[in-house]
Amino acid sequence: MTEGETNGSDLRARVLGQGEIFRKLDHALATERLAHAYLFLGPRGTGKTRTAIAFAQRLLSPDPDTPAFRRVARLAHPDLHLVFPMSKDDAADGTRVGQILSEYASNPYGMLATSETATVGIDQIRALKERIAMACVEAPRRVVIWSDAGRLSEPAAQSALKMVEEPPPDTVHILCAEESAQMLPTLVSRCQRVRIRRLTPAQIAGTLESEGVPAAEARILASLAGGSLWRAAQMRTEDVLGLREQTLRLFSVDGASAAAVAQRVESVGRSWNPTLAHRAVDLLLMWHHDLLWVQGHLPQDALVHVDRLPQLQAAAAKIPLDEIRRRIRILEELAESVDQRVNPILALQVALSHIASGAEAGEPALF
């Protein structure tokens, strides 16, 4: 394989933004300084488990041209063990477990956990102990990856602690969690921490565009995703451009009284759940940050709504800087209210009334 080519089974090619982490882990492997346990920490959807599996691929088979290397890519290597939240019924059904792993291996945006409420139970840990009590099948070591390690039941966490505290010399544990606070402090203390970076909007947008998502939509999805490619992929089924247009119309207060704006919000907002309300607020915040950017004559490549540049330029020319900042403060308070599960329609009405009151006092329209 020549420089620049990518082996189709090389999982690192599917992991975004973690090159520095791979370099450090590779150095530890090359210098025989591997830790017996790692803890990969990062927000949901940043690729913790996939980064762990991609590193495991090198640990189990350093040669990309071997069948073993390709088996890791399919999650079918006998010395690779994945532990993830499942219902008791799923955990006891070997066929179902195999189906979950196969779907995860083939879907770059999939999640291993079968539900939001599933946990890793003690029966899963007992079964794992039986498997790793045997000798390695074909690799010089085995790798145990704990996806969503913050969702171990209490008995499972205590049992996992014993496994990590007293690992066989040929076993590497990689635990993945959003925050160390979700886990037993003693379990955290036994691991070498690795911080998985949030993805940049440019990285996410580039990936989406490579899969055929229009550039304007990709930029908005990437900016709403909070560094999570998984979240951006989930939102692809939503009409974010349509939501933007609806939001801009809804929040346009030109010539409208505060009462009229409140009535408009109640009418349109009935169809919005808290998630959509939050998206709308985020879109407006991004719009106003774009206004600041345009007003400061800064590079256009950082704009989220660059496809609406003429409209941004027109608004930036007539809205004073202090007024833009005032509206950003109102919208930030609104976002916090929605986060706290305050009635989203009521919160929207209050925020829009404040913005509309500025318009009634002689401030320019929002857009």
CATH number for the domain running over 11-198: 3.40.50.300
What residue ranges do the domains of the chain occupy? 11-198, 238-360
Residue 207 phi/psi, 5° resolution? -65, -45
Quote the Cα angle for 361-366-367, to 5°.
Answer: 140
Tell me which H or E stretch contains 260.
helix 258-269
Is the model's pTM score more than 0.85? no
Give the separation between CA 311 and CA 129, rounded to whole angstroms.
62
- Separation between Cα atoms, residue 197 and residue 194, nearest integer Å: 9
pLDDT digits (tens, 9 = 90+) for 104-144: 998 888 888 777 889 999 999 999 999 999 999 999 999 99
Mean pLDDT of each 10-residue bin along the chain, 367 residues long: 51 90 94 95 93 96 92 96 91 87 88 83 94 92 96 96 90 96 95 94 93 94 92 89 85 62 69 79 92 91 92 92 91 78 69 65 47
Q: What are the DSSP calls for 169-211, one per residue?
A: TTEEEEEEES-GGGS-HHHHHTSEEEEPPPPPHHHHHHHHHHT
The proportion of the chain whose per-residue pLDDT surpasses 70, expressed as a percent, equals 87
Alpha-carbon distance of 227 to 79, in angstroms, equals 32
pLDDT of residue 94: 81
Q: What is the dihedral of CA 91, 194, 204, 220, to 10 degrees?
A: 90
**Furthest C-alpha separation in the chain:** 78
How does pLDDT run across 34-55, given as a tens digit for each residue?
999 999 999 988 999 999 999 9
Assess contact for 38 and 175: CB atoms under 8 A: yes
Find all residues with CB under 8 Å of 265, minimum gap 6, and list them.
250, 345, 348, 349, 352
